[in-house]
């Protein structure tokens, strides 16, 4: 891309003042690294709900910026130029539409409620010479920026996401796709639409002049009967992934390549380029209901103001449910951040195609360089972590790298104390060119215990004072978050974001296996190690291939837990073994080897919460104790 400011003014209907500078790239975020190094960058001053880009013009001039797009006239330095328009975003969109009209390659528009980025990234691996929109650039701004990056590629992969009526019409006028891929049509971003039918109609505006539309009947059944190409008809090899999203995405990709006359991937040999979960053969599986998880998120959002964002906790492999697939779903549902415990968890999400901002809560000095390389944002909780990360950011040439400052308001685990605030703000101001505080937060110690609400309210008050003192000392606005899943019940604790953890995962998981053997035993026989399972009657005992190595606690043996077989309780018999357990099915009719045994599920009396009560622990431990050898399977109703 190379435009004179006079060209941009003509395209956008703006007025040029000052020098007619040549523009080769666009910057809309003053924190962007390119703002420090790119002499041809045009800084666009945009107004948002919580910021005004015009406030950063002086700073951008000090970094060497010479070209600006603004909504009012500004003081110009020698060698600088500015295009003044009524609305900066609309001007960018007009410019992007003009630039798209000069592009001679095929444009592929990718839309849907989820999976857009994953499909785009996998297609890009198969077509390395294609252009793809960066990260999740699928908004009114992101699409415009993506289109302005087009050069002479033969294919361009452009995401298009909407959250309310009217947005897709503007996106389509910019993108004008030749082919449209629809990844899914589900409940994500439903709040601003009167019905699913309205949202579907809005999504389809992207295809009004497209030559071909490809969808998948399982994830977008609303599109059947419209004459579009259904990727369900694309046959995958036997034994491909059982993961719902992986199969849908693979079929979409295969059908797209076929329809475009491009080499169809050999899924047997291209699995490394088309990543999917390891094909485990273990009979025991954890089924994760992603629709139920999205429903939990929707119920949480219904309690919040529209401006309140969500930082979703996906640490400990998504509380045992699996990290990458869950993170993809949450990204599709429009959460603002993901949070993990350690850097390697964030790296794994990046490898899986997740592009959302990711906060690392247990950021340690040995992982700082890795975090910068993978655009992971650290929790900073003491001066040592602050100095260590500042050094890593400087070594990488980063400018205003986002960090998240942890305050200790009573949990007394990690965080700066009130006595640290003055020193902390002074040091953060000194590091202002390298680091910028994105959020300040703390952690509630007893929000789930109503008997300790006085203490919780004390924490909220202390956080209000400490965070206010920090923000005042920094001299710029900082987002705040305090409420975890239990803390959402305190409206005054919701601030700019909330951080749901276990609240996202309740009622979403079913751990099941299959009966591998059935035996008829006599009264007085003993079952299992130590002969502890002594039978008080003639019994029918089934063996299932799940044990404490899979996460089934040994304390659940000897009748302390019942599984469900054919919908009826089957209590454990004898001790839980490392790789197996025995259950009593005497009173359950017509049970055969190969039948299903449900270890826990959302069913009353069989939930992880019920199991936690038996064990004297919390449901977090039940879920996160599940071994990685247990296959995770994801599905939607």
Active-site option among 4, 61, 103, 529:
529
Is 234 annotated as catalytic? no
Query: What secondary structure does DSSP assign to 508-541, as a single string?
Result: -EEEEEE--EEEEE-TT-EESGGG-EE-SS-EEE
Q: If we measure between CA atoms, which residue out of 636, 635, 637 comes closest to residue 242?
A: 635
Contact between 323 and 349 under an 8 Å Cβ cutoff? The reply is yes
CA distance 155 to 184: 22
Edge-to-edge order in the sheet of strand 229-230: 131-132, 155-159, 106-111, 179-182, 212-215, 229-230
Q: How far is CA 598 from the centre of its chain?
A: 29
Query: Nearest 5°: CA angle at 300, between 297 and 305?
Result: 120
Is 401 annotated as catalytic? no
CA 257, 259, 261, 264 dihedral sign is positive
Edge-to-edge order in the sheet of strand 631-635: 517-521, 539-544, 581-584, 568-573, 562-565, 596-600, 509-514, 285-289, 631-635
Rg (CA), the chain: 28
Active-site option among 120, 315, 512, 631:
315
Contact between 477 and 51 under an 8 Å Cβ cutoff? The reply is yes
Q: If we measure between CA atoms, which residue out of 442, 433, 427, 408 comes closest to residue 473?
A: 427
Q: Which residue has the tokens 């009396």?
A: 605
Residues acting as catalytic residues: 315, 529
């Amino acid at each position: 891309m190379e435009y004179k400011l006079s060209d941009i003014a003509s395209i956008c209907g703006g007025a040029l003042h000052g020098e007619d500078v040549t523009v080769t790239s666009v910057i809309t975020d003053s924190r962007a690294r390119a703002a420090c190094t790119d002499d041809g960058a045009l800084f666009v001053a945009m107004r948002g709900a919580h910021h005004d880009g015009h406030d950063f013009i002086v700073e951008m001039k000090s970094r060497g910026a010479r070209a600006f797009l603004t909504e009012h006239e500004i003081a110009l330095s020698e060698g600088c130029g500015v295009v003044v328009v009524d609305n900066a975003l609309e001007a960018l969109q007009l410019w992007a539409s003009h630039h798209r009209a000069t592009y001679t390659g095929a444009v592929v528009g990718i839309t849907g409620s989820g999976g857009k980025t994953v499909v785009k990234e996998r297609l890009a691996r198969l077509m390395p010479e294609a252009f793809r929109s960066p990260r999740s650039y699928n908004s009114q701004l992101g699409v415009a920026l993506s289109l302005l990056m087009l050069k002479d590629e033969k294919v361009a992969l452009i995401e298009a996401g909407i959250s309310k009526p009217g947005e897709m019409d503007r996106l389509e006028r910019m993108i004008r796709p030749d082919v449209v891929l629809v990844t899914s049509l589900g409940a994500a971003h439903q709040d601003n639409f009167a019905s699913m039918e309205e949202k579907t109609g809005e999504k389809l505006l992207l295809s009004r002049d497209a030559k071909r539309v490809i969808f998948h009947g399982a994830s977008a059944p609303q599109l059947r009967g419209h004459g579009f190409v259904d990727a369900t008809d694309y046959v995958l090899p036997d034994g491909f992934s059982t993961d719902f999203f992986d199969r849908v995405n693979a079929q979409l990709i295969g059908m797209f390549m076929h329809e475009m006359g491009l080499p169809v991937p050999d899924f047997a040999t291209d699995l490394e380029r088309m990543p999917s979960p390891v094909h485990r053969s273990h009979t025991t599986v954890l089924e994760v209901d992603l629709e139920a998880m999205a429903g939990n998120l929707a119920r949480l959002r219904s309690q919040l103001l529209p401006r309140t964002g969500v930082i979703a906790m996906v640490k400990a492999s998504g509380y045992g449910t699996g990290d990458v697939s869950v993170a993809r779903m949450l990204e599709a549902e429009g959460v603002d951040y993901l949070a993990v415990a350690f850097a390697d968890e964030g790296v794994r999400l990046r490898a899986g195609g997740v592009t959302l901002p990711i906060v690392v809560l247990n950021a340690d000095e040995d992982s700082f360089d890795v975090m910068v390389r993978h655009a992971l944002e650290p929790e900073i909780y003491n001066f040592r972590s602050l100095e260590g990360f500042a050094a890593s950011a400087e070594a990488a040439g980063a400018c205003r790298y986002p960090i998240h400052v942890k305050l200790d308001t009573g949990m007394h685990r990690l965080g700066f104390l009130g006595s640290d605030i003055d020193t902390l703000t002074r040091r953060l101001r000194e590091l202002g060119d390298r680091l910028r505080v994105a959020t300040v937060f703390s952690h509630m110690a007893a929000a789930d215990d109503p008997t300790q609400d006085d203490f919780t309210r004390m924490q909220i008050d202390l956080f209000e004072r400490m965070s206010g003192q920090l923000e005042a000392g920094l001299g710029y606005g900082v987002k705040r978050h305090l409420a975890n899943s239990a803390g959402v019940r305190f409206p005054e604790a919701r601030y700019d974001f909330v951080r749901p953890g276990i609240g996202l995962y309740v009622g979403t998981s079913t751990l099941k296996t299959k009966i591998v053997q059935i035996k008829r035993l006599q009264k007085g026989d003993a079952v299992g190690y130590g002969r502890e399972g002594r039978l008080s009657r003639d019994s029918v005992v089934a063996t299932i291939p799940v044990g404490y190595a899979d996460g089934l606690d040994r304390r659940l043996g000897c009748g302390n837990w019942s599984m469900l077989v054919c919908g009826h309780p089957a209590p454990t018999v004898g001790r839980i073994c490392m790789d197996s357990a025995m259950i009593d099915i005497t009173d359950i009719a017509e049970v055969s080897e190969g039948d299903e045994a449900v270890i826990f599920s959302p069913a009353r009396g069989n939930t992880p919460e019920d199991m936690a009560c038996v064990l004297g622990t919390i449901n977090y431990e039940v879920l996160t104790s599940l071994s990685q050898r247990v296959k995770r399977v994801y599905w939607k109703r």
